[in-house]
């Protein structure tokens, strides 16, 4: 009976001790850190001794590093001693096993580990640098060979590519030439600095710096050549991203984009290949909302003769970016021509495929007054939606062009289609209005406004106030139910 009571009492004591002492996991961490300290201390002493041995064997290394490394190694030794003292405190707290010591144990554990790792990493960094010095001494001939290989690296191919691009796209000549010169200069400097350091007698301080420069250039040179080739190649392609549909099913937002690419195969002869692809892309809700008014619009345009980084991201009517200002008369894509007493844009035959891809096979000649208004909006940083019969926007989610050519899109179907639009084609419209849109009563396009807005804060092609697009009184492209 007494033995049973004694066992119960012992178990109770153990239970109370477990409830009132340090967590078991924390005590385990202390024990593990004690073992880790011993391992780190051995690694530190090995690195420290290796550094000291190399300093003793290499006078040139000692000359430039001893004054820095000796005090640093002494400080790191002191750090390990400090960590050892904190471990003693931790071991004492572990044995006392008091619950109120938990915060102090956690603080000491974190501090000891931080001190230990900092000292070890410092010693390893010195060991690594010392090894590089000795490697450099042992492999000077290898570095001489690398310098020779870098010097002989052919720039002929990329130089020819750059010079052809400069001829085809003169506006980029200065930029490309500077980039090519920078590549050549960096390569030449790295090789020259290495050779100079070698001729100077092989002082390891100068050789070490020259070797670093040589290795950096060896790594960077191929990247710089690829960049030059890529930039030169980008000049030969124009591309447009047209927003052809939008979807927000189940709070999953998507845009359908048609990308039309024109790749110039012979700039002088104006020969090119045109391709088109459509794809759905997931987008965030803010991006979706920002695009809602721009169905059928070009949402990104990159012109030939420009880099991809120069892409235009202000939405604009499809194809307008390829048209020359009337004052210039023509460009590589087409020319201004008088038709029915009006100046309209005419595309050259080799770009008709691109035109039809952009305008969904339903191009109507663009009058000069319409293009001038587009340029005015563009210079103001505004999105131009044009104007059609009765002053309706022509492009974008509320436009009459969109009404005719995007009625089968998911976005249009969800929002009621265009059948009831107050901007449907007017039976009584004149042939000129049907072809080009109304030019206004004055016949003078200068200063005309597109859509609603005051003269002081005018907008271009914005939806007129109070007009709905879509059947059953529903508005297409705006005020959607959430």
Interval 56-95: pLDDT, tens: 998 888 888 899 999 999 999 999 999 999 999 999 999 9
Gyration radius (Cα) of the chain, Å: 37
The DSSP H or E segment spanning 243 is strand 237-247
- For residue 302, the cross-strand partners are 239
What local confidence, expressed as pLDDT, does residue 422 receive?
A: 43
Tell whether the model's pLDDT for residue 435 goes beyond 90: no
More confident residue, 130 or 426: 130
H or E stretch at 253 = none
DSSP codes, 413-440: HHTT-STT-TTSPPTT--HHHHHH----
pLDDT number for residue 194: 79
CA–CA separation, 374 and 121 (whole Å): 63
- At 193, is the pLDDT very low, low, confident or very high (cuts 50, 70, 90)? confident
Q: Considering only CA atoms, which of 149, 153, 204, 208 is closest in space to residue 183?
A: 153
CA–CA dist 356, 159 (Å, integer): 37
Say if residues 389 and 437 touch (Cβ distance below 8 Å).
yes
d(C-alpha 288, C-alpha 254), whole Å: 7
CB-based contact 351:335 (threshold 8 Å):
no
Token reading at 278: 């459509």
Q: What is the DSSP string of 169-195?
A: -GGGHHHHHHHHHHHHHHHHHHHHHHH
How high is the pLDDT of residue 103? Answer: 94
Paired residues of 277 in beta bridges:
259
Kindly give the residue spans of alpha helices, DSSP state H, lying in 58-101. 59-96
Is the pLDDT at 448 greater than 60, yes or no? Answer: no
Give the phi and the psi of residue 108 in degrees, each rounded to 5.
-65, -40
**Average pLDDT value over all residues in the chain:** 81
**What's the pLDDT tens digit per position in 197-233?**
777 665 667 777 787 787 777 778 888 889 999 999 9
pLDDT of residue 416: 59
Burial class (CB in 10 A: 0-12, 13-18, 19+), 356: middle
List pLDDT tens digits, range 292-334.
999 999 999 999 999 999 999 999 999 999 999 999 999 999 9
Give the pTM.
0.62
Over residues 101-126, the mean pLDDT reads 95
Task: Give CA–CA dist 343/340, Å, rounded.
Answer: 8
Percent above pLDDT 70 for the chain: 79
Nearest residue to 258 (alpha-carbon basis) of 234, 282, 240: 240
Q: How far is it, in rounded angstroms, from Cα 57 to Cα 304?
A: 62
- 374 pLDDT band (50/70/90 cuts)? very high
Partners of 338 in the β-ladder:
343
Residue 468's pLDDT is what? 34
N-terminal to C-terminal alpha carbon distance within the chain: 77
Tens digit of each residue's pLDDT (9 = 90 or more) over 398-419: 899 998 899 899 998 887 555 4
> Rounded mean pLDDT of 331-345?
92
């Amino acid at each position: 009976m007494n033995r049973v009571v004694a066992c119960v009492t012992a178990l109770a004591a153990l239970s109370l001790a477990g409830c009132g002492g340090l967590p078991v996991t924390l005590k385990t961490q202390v024990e593990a850190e004690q073992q880790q300290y011993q391992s780190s201390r051995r690694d530190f002493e090995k690195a420290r001794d290796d550094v000291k041995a190399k300093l003793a064997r290499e006078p040139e290394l000692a000359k430039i590093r001893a004054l820095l490394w000796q005090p640093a190694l002494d400080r790191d030794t002191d750090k390990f001693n400090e960590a050892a003292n904190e471990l003693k405190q931790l071991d004492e707290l572990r044995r006392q096993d008091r619950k109120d010591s938990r915060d102090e144990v956690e603080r000491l554990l974190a501090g000891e580990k931080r001190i230990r790792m900092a000292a070890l990493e410092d010693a390893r960094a010195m060991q690594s640098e010392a090894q590089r010095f000795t490697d450099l001494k042992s492999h000077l001939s290898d570095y001489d060979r690398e310098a020779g290989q870098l010097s002989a690296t052919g720039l002929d191919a990329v130089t020819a590519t750059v010079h052809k691009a400069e001829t085809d796209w003169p506006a980029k000549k200065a930029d490309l030439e500077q980039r090519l010169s920078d590549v050549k200069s960096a390569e030449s400097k790295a090789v020259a600095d290495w050779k100079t350091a070698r001729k100077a007698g092989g002082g390891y301080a100068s050789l070490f710096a020259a070797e670093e420069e040589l290795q950096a250039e060896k790594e960077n040179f191929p990247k710089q050549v690829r960049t030059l080739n890529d930039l030169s190649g980008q000049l030969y392609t124009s591309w447009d991203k047209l927003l052809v549909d939008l979807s927000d099913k189940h709070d999953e937002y998507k845009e359908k984009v048609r990308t039309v690419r024109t790749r110039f195969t012979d700039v002088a002869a104006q020969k090119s290949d045109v391709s088109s692809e459509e794809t759905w892309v997931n987008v965030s809700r803010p991006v979706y909302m920002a695009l809602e008014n721009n169905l059928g619009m070009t949402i990104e345009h990159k012109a030939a003769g420009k880099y991809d980084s120069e892409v235009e991201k202000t939405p604009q009517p499809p194809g307008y970016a390829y048209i020359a200002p009337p004052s210039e008369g023509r460009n590589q894509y087409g020319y201004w021509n008088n038709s029915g007493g009006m100046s309209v844009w005419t595309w050259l035959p080799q770009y008709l495929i691109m035109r039809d891809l952009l305008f969904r096979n339903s191009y109507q000649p663009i009058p000069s007054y319409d293009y001038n208004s587009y340029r005015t909006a563009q210079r103001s940083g505004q999105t131009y939606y044009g104007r059609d019969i009765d002053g309706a926007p022509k492009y974008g989610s509320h436009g009459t062009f969109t009404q005719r050519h995007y009625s089968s899109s998911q976005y249009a179907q969800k929002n009621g289609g265009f059948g009831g639009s107050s901007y449907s084609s007017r039976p009584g419209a004149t042939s000129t209005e049907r072809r080009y849109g109304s030019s206004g009563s004055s016949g003078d396009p200068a200063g005309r406004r597109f859509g609603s807005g005051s003269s002081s804060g005018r907008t271009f092609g914005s939806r007129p106030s109070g007009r709905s697009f879509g059947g059953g009184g529903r508005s297409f492209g705006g005020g959607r139910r959430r």
